[in-house]
């Protein structure tokens, strides 16, 4: 009798970890079944506890842009390990990583390194509030900026209304200054600024929302946010935790700047790729904003492991390698092959299917046309997605276990990997 080690591990995990996982989406609640417990990874592949191999389209939810275990990155990390794991003191390497980030993101003149996207996001909001002296925050339904209390908010029932907490343990008074609007809805945005004149500290957005799968902000929507923030003295926060260095070397803001000359956000939040798979994130802005941070200014923020010497080594080498000429163009083309191929198979099977991608980030929907906001995303056929997901997983192709999560391609994915995934999709679509 074959023993399913994944099932055994999941049962063990549920006895000691809530839900058996340390981040909810890993539990497979959205799709059902037992999650594979990963034993190792290399290049574009994962192997689970049973020894089954998968082509990996999660990439640790974005950081593994070079694939797993890239030799130069491993060597840099090993060398750093010999110098020490953590010092709680400044290092040259954190200065070098900060300099590298600032060279690539012109909107930022100073940056603060932290350990997670949640930490970076909540710190950016605190900084915006401290800089403006205002309290209200605008965010958009379907955008995820981490699990800080003020951000765990679901949309209200009317235009520009306050949201309600979407998590137990978050008091109503904590989210009373969070305004939740629909993504890509200019009318709601204008109404909110009119209603809360002089009260809005910041507007926080994902330029490409990756937590309702893959939904782009329209250039018109992006421009209107920029205009309204300028007119009303609010700050525009760009959450590039997912898109930063993955969709383009200069992040999503460099893509929008091509369509909107001169465009820049006020504060940028980054993570994932800048750590190369290690716990690392950052937030940055122009100098006058960042100088409000302690120890220079009154906005307090601190972290024992911020700028960790192992994580900075990993991030530095990753940024060096993805800065090579043509890297993102090749990555974009490879991701495009995957999306075009899967869509062609869905079309041939008569299944409504639409796709989008940028750099190494992609999304697909079981819908006839691309959605522009959260409500439209939720019209996707969830039972059909779950069948597709499990069909692909059984054939060794690991996509995100939820219809509202984007996917990731790395430079380690070969033409053969892409072809095998498309062939597997053909087989699965025949069964749907």
What structural domains does the chain harbor? 5-69+325-431 (3.90.1150.10), 71-322 (3.40.640.10)
114 DSSP β-pair partners = 281
Structure tokens at 248: 């383009």
Query: Per-residue pLDDT tens for 320-362?
Result: 999 999 999 999 999 999 999 999 999 999 999 999 999 999 9
Euclidean distance between CA atoms 247 and 300, whole angstroms: 32
End-to-end CA distance of the chain: 30
Written as one string, the DSSP assignment of 175-221 is: STTEEEEETT-HHHHHHHHHHTTTTEEEEEE-SEE-SSSSEEPPHHH
Cα angle, residue 421 at apex, residues 417 and 422 outer, rounded to 5°: 120
Euclidean distance between CA atoms 289 and 402, whole angstroms: 37
Euclidean distance between CA atoms 123 and 302, whole angstroms: 9
DSSP state of 43: B
| Residue whose token pair is 């930022």 | 108
Structure tokens at 288: 């006058």
Q: Is 54 in contact with 36 (CB distance < 8 Å)? A: yes
Active site residue ranges: 144, 239, 272
Report the candidate in 33, 421, 431, 25 with the shortest Cα–Cα distance to residue 213. 25
244 DSSP β-pair partners = 248
Structure tokens at 318: 């990753």
Sequence-distant (≥ 6) Cβ neighbours of residue 186 within 8 angstroms: 220, 221, 224
CA dihedral 393, 399, 403, 406 (to 10 degrees): 180
pLDDT recorded at residue 17: 96
Euclidean distance between CA atoms 78 and 82, whole angstroms: 7
Instruction: Please tell me whether the peptide bond between 295 and the residue prior to it is cis, using omega within 30 degrees of 0.
Output: yes
Per DSSP, the chain holds a count of helices (H) and strands (E) of: 13, 18
**Chain center to CA of 2:** 37
pLDDT recorded at residue 156: 44
Sequence-distant (≥ 6) Cβ neighbours of residue 181 within 8 angstroms: 138, 139, 140, 141, 155, 159, 160, 188, 189, 192
Report in angstroms the alpha-carbon separations of 142 from 1, 154, 183, 282: 45, 9, 8, 22
pLDDT recorded at residue 153: 79
Ranges of the chain whose pLDDT falls below 50:
156-162
110 DSSP β-pair partners = 285
Euclidean distance between CA atoms 216 and 249, whole angstroms: 18
Sequence-distant (≥ 6) Cβ neighbours of residue 145 within 8 angstroms: 117, 118, 121, 139, 151, 204, 206, 239, 241, 269
**Chain center to CA of 169:** 24
pLDDT recorded at residue 164: 57
pLDDT recorded at residue 299: 96
């Amino acid at each position: 009798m074959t023993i399913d080690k994944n099932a055994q591990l999941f049962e063990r995990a549920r006895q000691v970890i809530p839900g058996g996982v340390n981040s909810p989406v890993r539990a497979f609640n959205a799709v059902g079944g037992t999650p594979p417990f990963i034993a190792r990874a290399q290049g574009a592949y994962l192997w689970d506890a049973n020894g089954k191999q998968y082509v990996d389209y999660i990439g640790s939810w974005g950081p593994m842009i070079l694939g797993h275990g890239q030799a130069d990155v491993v060597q840099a990390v090993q060398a750093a390990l010999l110098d020490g794991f953590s010092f709680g003191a400044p290092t040259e390497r954190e200065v070098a990583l900060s300099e590298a980030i600032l060279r690539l993101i012109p909107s930022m003149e100073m940056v603060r390194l932290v350990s997670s996207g949640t930490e970076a996001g909540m710190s950016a909001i605190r900084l915006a509030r401290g800089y403006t002296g205002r309290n209200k925050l605008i965010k958009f339904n379907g955008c995820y900026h981490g699990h800080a209390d003020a951000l765990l908010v679901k949309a209200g029932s009317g235009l520009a209304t306050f949201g309600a907490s979407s998590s137990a343990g978050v008091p109503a008074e904590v989210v009373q200054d969070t305004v939740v609007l629909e993504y890509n809805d200019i009318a709601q945005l204008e109404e909110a600024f009119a209603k809360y004149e002089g009260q809005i500290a910041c507007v926080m957005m994902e330029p490409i929302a990756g937590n309702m799968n893959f939904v782009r902000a329209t250039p018109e929507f992006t421009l209107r946010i920029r205009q309204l923030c300028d007119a009303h003295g609010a700050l525009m926060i760009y959450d590039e935790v997912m898109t930063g260095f993955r969709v383009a070397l200069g992040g999503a803001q460099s893509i929008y700047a091509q369509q909107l000359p001169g465009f820049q956000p006020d504060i940028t939040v980054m993570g994932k790729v800048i750590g190369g798979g290690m716990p690392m994130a950052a937030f940055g802005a122009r100098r006058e904003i960042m100088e409000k941070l302690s120890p220079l200014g009154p906005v307090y923020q601190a972290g024992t492991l911020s700028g960790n010497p192992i994580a900075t080594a990993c991030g530095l080498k990753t940024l060096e390698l993805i800065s090579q000429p043509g890297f993102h163009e090749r990555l974009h083309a490879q991701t495009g092959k995957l999306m075009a191929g899967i869509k062609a198979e869905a079309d041939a099977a008569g299944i409504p299917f639409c796709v989008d991608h940028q750099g190494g980030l992609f999304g697909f929907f079981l819908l006839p046309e691309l959605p522009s906001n959260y409500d439209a995303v939720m019209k996707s056929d969830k039972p059909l997605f779950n069948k597709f997901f499990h069909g692909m997983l059984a054939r060794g192709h690991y996509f995100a276990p939820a219809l509202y999560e984007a996917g990731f391609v790395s430079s380690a994915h070969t033409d053969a990997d892409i072809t095998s995934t498309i062939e597997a999709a053909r087989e699965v679509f025949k069964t749907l």
